[in-house]
Amino acid sequence: MDGTPMPNFGDVVDAGVITDDQLWAVAHYVRSLAPEEAPGISEVVGAVLLEDTALPTSVTDEAWDDVERVYIPLVGQIIVEPRWFDPRVDGVWVQALHDGESVTIRVSWSDPNRSPDPDWADWKSQVVSLMAPQEGNPPAEGPTPDQLVLQFPMEMPQGMDRPYFMSGDNRRPVYLWQWRSDSDSALEGEARGIGTESFQTEGQDLTVSASHQDGQWQVMFTRPLVTDDEADLDFNMLMDIGGGSLISHLGMSG
């Protein structure tokens, strides 16, 4: 519209800077980034049983192509200081498989850059000064990694009774999987409330495969359903034997 701060696309077309076809190509590309329909939301992720096929060994394995994706919306952490009201990631897609011996979960989300990114570090202080709430301890200086935490109940929930979505509490502790992009490794841990998170440094039964490509992270965790470590969650407690599927009431933070 003439008279607004936005430039008139007709001018750049007339000047030969860009063509109508190129403008439509950009519009179609942007439209392709969104699904045809708004994704449904589920509180439960079911892991499909693979009987005659091996579990995927990487995030790009073709076995994931036929696995239903569950969309889980996310919000910024606004419970404890410092709070963040404008998170970059507002949702993730989750898929899960198991073979009766191990379970694997793939989480995907959009993120334009892979952190820590030296090219982004110069701009971080400017963004933080503009967007970060002026409360609590200031964000750490320097590059920070991308990270993902999956949270599982230590016991099978009954009815609508769930652990607190942020690290559980004393009555309902939670089992954690954590991945960080700087070390590209996974850790198992547990928590009994915000600030009580602790992670194992030895005896890890959890493996991870991660990839950042075309503005999207894909992180795949794999772990035996049952381990020799008493501190680990026994996933058989969450097994729906009749349906052959692993039911996981999980929470996430990034």
Q: Mean pLDDT in each 10-residue stretch from start to end of the chain (254 residues)?
A: 65 81 88 79 82 90 91 82 77 91 92 75 65 60 78 77 83 90 90 89 86 92 88 64 36 42
Q: How far apart are CA 254 and CA 120, in angstroms?
A: 18
Q: Among 3.20.20.370, 2.60.40.1190, 3.60.15.10, 3.40.630.30, what is the CATH number of 41-253?
A: 2.60.40.1190
Q: List, in sequence order, the alpha helices (H) in the chain.
A: 9-14, 20-32, 118-131
Neighbours of 51 (CB within 10 A): 7
pTM reported for the whole predicted model = 0.76
Domain edges within the chain: 1-32, 41-253
Distance CA 173, CA 190 (A): 7
Cβ-Cβ contacts under 8 Å for 19 (sequence gap 6 or more): 13
Beta bridge partners of 216: 110, 213
The residues facing 103 across adjacent strands are 98, 223
Residue whose C-alpha is closest to residue 96's, from 227, 234, 221, 196? 221
Element (H, E) at 70: strand 70-73
